[in-house]
Chain A
Amino acid sequence: MNNYSTFGTALHRLAILCYVVFALFPLFWLLKVSVTPNDLLYSEGVRMWPSRMSFEHFRFVLAHSAFPVFFRNSLIVAGATAVIVTLLASLSGYALSRFTFRGKYWLVALMLLTQMFPLVMLVAPIFKMLSPLGLTNSLTGLVVVYTAFNIPFATFLMQSFFDGIPKELEEAAKIDGATQFMAFRQIVLPLTLPGIAATLGFVFTAAWSELLFALMLISGNSAATFPVGLLTFVSKFSVDFGQMMAAGVLALIPACLFFLFIQRYLVQGLTAGAVKG
């Protein structure tokens, strides 16, 4: 290894390090504020870590706020949305990847079109549509809306994963005696697990952190999701940063767990060895 490449590697690593620090710093700050006792929050100035740690905010959030309800609501909404969207997107993505059918071009164009509108524009019409159906102020309503908004992108995502699976595998399965659906279920689907994991993760996080519709369609605490709930810390207690951050840290847990669970599929190159090359 010559000097230049050593230098290049060092530079490369340094750049990555800078990026990681930059990306993770807000999370660190979140954690830091959440364990800083209220009396030290403003009195100690800017420090990297408080001189005394306390979990009082966590205790309060869990025991005396509506946070557990928000948390449960978010879990239901994000989980249901992720599962439904991924299921539908796998089917539609597969169809887009493998079949030619009339109107395919326009269908894709239409799906792209839906992605171009700022969501704010749609709040009023959606509210108007959902309210006679009794779907405002309900978790089901949120799931319906999130599903509708996430399906186009998730479909394209799944389509690209299906595109990556050689068509010949299915053809081989069909010749081996499988029906189209069996080939899909037994050959294609297991190989798309990384894609399914990615889609699940993407939709889950999107639904988990969605604020606009949750705010507009839900009033009152019983059906509020966690991002809406976070705002209650702003109004009720002036801004209680300590509790808000503690709630934020807790809200990170499911997302972290989720990605921990799916990362095995995300990194795995399952198709390796399918075809030569």
Chain B
Amino acid sequence: MASIDIRNVRKNFGIVSVLHGVDLSIENGEFVVLVGPSGCGKSTLLRMIAGLEEVTEGEIRIDGMRVNERAPKDRDIAMVFQSYALYPHMNVAENMSYGLRIRKAAREKITAAVSNAARKLELQPLLARRPKALSGGQRQRVAMGRAIVRQPKAFLFDEPLSNLDARLREQMRAEIKKLHRDLGATSIYVTHDQIEAMTLADRIVAMHEGVVQQVGSPLELYDRPANLFVAGFIGSPAMNFLSARYEVGAGTAGARLPDGTLIGLSSGYQLEEGAPVTLGIRPEHVEMSPGSESSLRATVDLIEPTGFGIILHLGLHGLPFNVFTLDRAALTAGPTVTVAFPPQHLHLFDETGMRALETSL
């Protein structure tokens, strides 16, 4: 169990700068999920914590101790790789016990730790098998087992489930959550998967192009994204954005769309009158009831039933706009529909893409 502090960490590969000063404090026992588009530096950050990449600048502390110069073996962390990286010439038990064996742990202790982990992960019948005789899900479990037998200070996961099919992924996701609940170990988890991030994280770290965009609980990121990037990245289908101008009157505030429609806002913002803004609304928050004054007509391009709900791909002034609804009536929606934006679900971003600060009206 350990806390991890990342202070102004930078990483250059030759002349290419990949991380531009990352700050992050992870508390003992916390489950932190790193999300961000491909190439934003998630793996690089994780590998730096593991000691597999050198830190160009800044400091990484584990339990308050600077570890920049420590070899991976002296950091006492475990890592689960996307490819699992099981040792092909060792059977499952040997794979799991390798770390303990080279640390010269007592034989009884090794046996106990392996059988304990095997029981937790339901690997007992497979202990004598080689990795190549295992299914993807089983390999994934062995990789987890190898991480937990050593009882390290922290776990690092680099997209551990992305090679599994959807159902297995769901199942393993729940197991990882259970495992974390049982072991309470500090964990850093990299994923592309929204749902994994939302369900597993105590805190999500959203990254973009080597810069941390927002750190917060899953619901904070969902409800109050700090900027356009986080707003567009968290949530699926992604948030809709419309350009508008901010207008404020006596006791009211609104966003004027290019076609002249005024969308009412629930509060005022620290913005100049007429300031260009981006209005954001999640597809699941759009209402399809006609009649409200700020409602808009949109053309229906495509209807995608997901079983649970329906995704409508609309065209709003020629721009793509998505709506998610549970109402099956949408399946038979005509060539045009009316959409309305409930003020409490609107997000407003200023010209620089940052979330606009609210003020009272």
Contacts and interface: CB of A to CB of B under 8 A. Distances in A.
A153 B317 CA distance: 66
Interface in B85-127: 85-89, 98-99, 102-103
A272 interface: yes
A274 interface: yes
A40 interface: no
A172 interface: yes
Q: Which of B72, B77, B133, B163 has the most CB of A within 10 A?
A: B72
Nearest to A271: B88
A118 interface: no
Nearest to A276: B163
B41 interface: no
B78 interface: yes
A190 B73 contact: no
Contacts of B264: none
A175 B87 contact: no
Chain A interface residue number, banded:
20 to 34
B50 A272 contact: no
Contact of A174 (B52, B130, B150): B52
B131 interface: yes
A171 B103 contact: no
Contacts of A191: 88-89
Given A171-B52, A179-B71, A276-B163, A187 B77 contact: no
Contacts of A272: 88, 132
Contacts, number: 87
Given A171-B52, A177-B103, A273 B88 contact: yes
A275 B150 contact: no
B321 interface: no
Nearest to B133: A273
A169 to B, nearest CB: 5
B357 interface: no
Interface string A67-103: 0000000000000000000000000000000000000
B11 interface: no
Contact of B146 (A176, A178, A270, A277): A176
B48 to A, nearest CB: 13
Contacts of A254: none
B106 to A, nearest CB: 15
Contacts of A176: 73, 78, 98-99, 102, 146, 150
B51 to A, nearest CB: 8
B190 interface: no
A166 interface: yes
Interface string A149-181: 000000000000000001011011111111100
B163 A175 contact: no
Nearest to B74: A177
Nearest to B104: A177
B136 interface: yes
Contacts of A166: 83, 85
A239 B132 CA distance: 56
Interface string A261-277: 00000000011111111
Contact of A171 (B84, B85, B136): B85
A168 B83 contact: yes
Contacts of A273: 86, 88, 130-134, 139
A216 interface: no
B229 interface: no
B79 interface: yes
B81 interface: yes
Q: Which of A176, A270, A277 has the most CB of B within 10 A?
A: A176
A172 B79 contact: yes
Q: Which of B52, B87, B103 has the most CB of A within 10 A?
A: B87
Nearest to A172: B85
Contacts of B85: 166, 168-169, 171-172, 274-275
Nearest to B139: A276
Nearest to B52: A171
14 contacts: A168-B83, A169-B85, A171-B81, A172-B79, A175-B73, A177-B73, A177-B99, A186-B102, A270-B88, A273-B86, A273-B131, A274-B87, A275-B86, A276-B84
Interface of A: 166, 168-169, 171-179, 182, 186-187, 190-191, 270-277
Given A174-B73, A176-B98, 20 more contacts: A169-B88, A171-B47, A172-B81, A172-B87, A175-B50, A175-B73, A175-B78, A175-B79, A176-B146, A177-B150, A178-B102, A179-B71, A182-B102, A187-B87, A271-B88, A273-B88, A273-B131, A274-B87, A275-B83, A276-B84
**Closest 3 interchain pairs by CB?**
A273-B132, A275-B83, A176-B99
